[in-house]
Amino acid sequence: MVRINEKHKLFIFVDAPEVAPSKDVINILDSGIDNKGMKIETKAIQNVLDRISGTGKVLLFPAGIYKTGTLTIPGETKIYLSAGANVKATDDIHVFEPASNLKSKGLIVIKDAKNVEIRGRGLLMGMAVYSAISLEIMPG
């Protein structure tokens, strides 16, 4: 805490620097996915997510813009978004799918999945009209 003129208090909170995983990592760029935001990469990203599910490996998104529609994150999946990585909803509203029985459409859908981990300093950027992340948490 820092006091300013004995009247105002300024609280400063600092997290320890986050270290990107260095072992058991699959770099999304190795799959030829565009990180300049020039192409909609929904199918390609979904294929990589499905492929790494259950392997114990971490899917690394380096800095860049990854334009996509709805992504379904399977169980046993680890994702790391590096600082400057933006998984961004495309402007084309028609590529989004409804999240199960929810009326909203989602950028990220996690349903019937256990042990899903999304970490890092990057961003998940949905559209304001639709929900960015849809989670359907089921008992059991």
Query: For the residues of 95-134, what is the DSSP string, one character each?
Result: G--B-TT-SSBEEEEEES--SEEEEES-EEE--SSSEEEE
pTM score, whole prediction: 0.76
Cα distance between residue 139 and residue 1, in whole Å? 42
Helix (H) or strand (E) holding 39: strand 36-40
Q: Would you list the domain boundaries of the chain?
A: 18-136
Query: pLDDT truncated to tens, each residue of the chain (140 aa)?
Result: 777 777 788 788 777 777 888 899 999 999 999 999 999 999 999 999 999 999 999 999 999 999 998 898 999 999 999 999 999 988 766 555 555 555 556 788 887 888 999 999 899 887 654 444 444 444 44
CATH number of the domain at 18-136, please? Answer: 2.160.20.10
